[in-house]
């Protein structure tokens, strides 16, 4: 199978997994949002922040190194990476156990520490499976990755429902994962057929750390950025406000998070296979950007249009205050889509230091802006988050453009058509809601979501037919090798 076809099939499998995961998560969250308090979701976010920051500091980049490295002593490097990862994981566990009570005391809630310990169990086993999982990623064995991940995710989701039903409260959000993660670890080791040798390989640690140091630095800063707003909201607005903000942020990034998951998963192994050819890397990067925007822009626009219906139907009236922050944060979701391929690009080009240096400047500016926005409430935080993150995304895109020797005009040419039709769709549905008084009819607003996606693509088909079909030909025909794709496109879009 050619690289293009393998990438396409891997992306489709990952997309199916995420689609299934989102469907399951939507059902589970709709149930949990009605029986758990908003404070419970804020508690989970606060408990996850500390563990996330510490784990990022220690383990970032090790699995990426396993994928990246291709030297003659690869087996020794993989073995050394496993033991280094294990030692660092044990260190993280000890740090969290010792410092966890201080974190709980900072937020003055006695449920935070036991919840952190529960999260620590799943974290430990997930770290152990990272090396065999990286080996499967390297070979683009996504059929196994998707199957195992989907089964585990489904069991965890059902487990959350059961635990919540039996009155376990906030602990129902973390307990099922703690049971499933060790089973998943065993499954990945069995499938990869890789076993660690009782040789620690400490002489290799220096080279591994040299590769990962900038990845660690940039990811720690990214983690502070991603979680810093939660800390600020939880401290200055309250845990209930944090629950609302967390829901709004998750919904606004629903599409983008799934896209980034796919890009991060296959982007590094794919780009590493063509890293010796600058022209090919440039072509792949631009095509990735084009595909991501073509998928994400219509859906994110539709989420803005149907946000009120989504919140009320799936989560209930008590979450209505999340609607406006959700709509505001969707703008950040659009910029995050455009920016998402840059991380893999910097790593493959051997320049993760660019992201680290950017983060050193961006992180304090972002956190300060969120702090200032917190004085206005959730709306202020959502505005601060959106404005600073959008500006930051464009800085990173600019660095990527310079690195691969391309121009802003080439990026703009990939975006302008879908950006125009998305704006047109937003205006049309806004006028319909206003003049025909759709607002308040939540099921009509919910129905508007899939309708808006179709209308957006229909606008593209009618207004820019040449570019619309050129996109389908260049992406689907080239990557799948299916010559009848032209027949299909006319059946569905003519």
Q: Residues for the chain: how many in total?
A: 494
The DSSP result for 408-421, as a single string, is HHHHHHHHHHHHHH
pLDDT computed for residue 83 by the predictor? 93
Cα dihedral: 481, 347, 18, 425 (round 10): -80
Low-confidence winner among 18-32, 71-85, 135-149, 218-232 (lowest mean pLDDT) = 18-32
The residues, any chain, with a CB within 8 Å of residue 263's CB and separated by 6 or more, are 288, 292, 340, 341, 343, 344
* Mean pLDDT score, 475-487: 52
3-state secondary structure of 36: coil
pLDDT above 90: residue 257: no
Pairwise pLDDT comparison (109 vs 403), residue with the higher score? 403
Distance CA 426, CA 430 (A): 6
Q: Is the pLDDT of residue 481 over 70?
A: no
The rounded distance, in Å, linking the Cα atoms of 266 and 270 is 6
Round to whole Å and give the CA distance between 268 and 275.
Answer: 10
Contact 75, 204 (CB under 8 A): no
Give the number of other CB atoms < 10 A from CB of residue 93: 19
Percent share of the chain, pLDDT over 70: 83
How high is the pLDDT of residue 343?
A: 79
State mean pLDDT over 302-315.
90
Cα–Cα distances (Å) from 347 to 135, 218, 225, 263, in that order, read 18, 11, 20, 13
Q: For residue 306, report the phi and psi dihedrals to the nearest 5 degrees.
A: -100, 20
Measured in degrees and rounded to the nearest 5, phi and psi for residue 181 equal -60, -40
> In sequence order, what E strands does 138-216 have?
none
Residues 6+ apart with CB under 8 A from 54: 92, 95, 96
The reply to whether the predicted model has a pTM over 0.85 is no
8 Å CB contact between 292 and 240: no
Tokens of 315: 């989560």
Distance of alpha carbon 141 from alpha carbon 26, whole angstroms:
28
Question: 146-175 pLDDT, tens per residue?
Answer: 788 888 888 988 888 888 888 887 788 788
Name which of 259, 246, 392 is nearest 329 in CA terms: 246
The pLDDT tens digits of the residues spanning 2-27 come to 555 566 666 666 667 766 776 777 67
Give the Cα separation of 184 and 154 in Å (integer): 13
């Amino acid at each position: 199978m050619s690289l293009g076809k393998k990438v396409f099939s891997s992306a489709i499998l990952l997309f199916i997994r995420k689609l299934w995961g989102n469907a399951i998560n939507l059902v589970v969250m709709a149930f949990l949002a009605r029986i758990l308090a908003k404070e419970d979701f804020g508690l989970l976010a606060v408990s996850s922040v500390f563990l996330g920051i510490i784990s990022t500091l220690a383990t970032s980049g090790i699995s990426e190194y396993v994928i990246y490295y291709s030297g003659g002593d690869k087996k020794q490097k993989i073995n050394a990476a496993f033991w280094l990862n294990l030692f660092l994981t044990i260190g993280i566990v000890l740090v969290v156990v010792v410092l966890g009570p201080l974190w709980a005391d900072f937020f003055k809630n006695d449920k935070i520490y036991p919840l952190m310990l529960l999260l620590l169990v799943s974290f430990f086993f997930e770290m152990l499976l990272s090396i065999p999982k990286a080996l499967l990623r390297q070979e683009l064995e996504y059929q196994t990755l998707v199957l195992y991940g989907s089964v585990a995710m489904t069991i965890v989701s059902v487990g959350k429902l059961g635990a919540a039903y039996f009155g376990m409260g906030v602990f129902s959000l973390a307990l099922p994962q703690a049971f499933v993660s060790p089973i998943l670890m065993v499954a990945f080791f069995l499938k990869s057929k890789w076993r660690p040798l009782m040789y620690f390989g400490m002489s290799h640690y220096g080279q591994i750390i040299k590769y990962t140091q900038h990845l660690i630095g940039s990811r720690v800063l990214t983690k502070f950025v991603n979680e810093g707003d939660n800390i600020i909201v939880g401290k200055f607005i309250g845990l209930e406000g944090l629950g609302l903000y967390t829901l709004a942020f998750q919904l606004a990034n629903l599409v983008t998070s799934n896209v980034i998951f796919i890009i991060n998963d296959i982007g590094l192994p794919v780009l590493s296979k063509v890293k010796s050819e600058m022209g090919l890397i440039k072509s792949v990067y631009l095509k990735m950007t084009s595909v991501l925007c073509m998928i994400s822009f219509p859906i994110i626009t539709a989420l803005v249009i149907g946000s009120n219906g989504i919140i009320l139907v799936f989560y209930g009236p008590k979450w209505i205050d999340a609607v406006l922050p959700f709509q505001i944060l969707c703008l950040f979701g659009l910029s995050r889509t455009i920016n998402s391929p840059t991380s893999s690009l910097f790593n493959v080009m051997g320049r993760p230091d660019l992201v680290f240096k950017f983060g050193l400047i961006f992180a304090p500016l972002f956190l300060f802006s969120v702090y200032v926005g917190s004085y206005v409430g959730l709306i202020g935080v959502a505005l601060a988050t959106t404005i600073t993150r959008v500006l930051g995304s464009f800085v990173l895109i600019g660095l990527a453009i310079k690195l691969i020797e391309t121009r802003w005009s080439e990026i703009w040419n990939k975006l302008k058509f879908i950006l125009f039709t998305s704006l047109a769709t937003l205006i049309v549905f806004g006028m319909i809601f206003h003049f025909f008084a759709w607002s308040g009819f939540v099921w009509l607003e919910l129905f508007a979501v899939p309708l808006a996606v179709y209308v957006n693509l229909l606008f593209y088909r009618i207004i820019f037919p040449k570019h619309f079909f050129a996109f389908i030909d260049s992406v689907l025909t080239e990557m799948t090798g299916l010559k009848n794709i032209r027949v299909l496109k006319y059946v569905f879009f003519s």
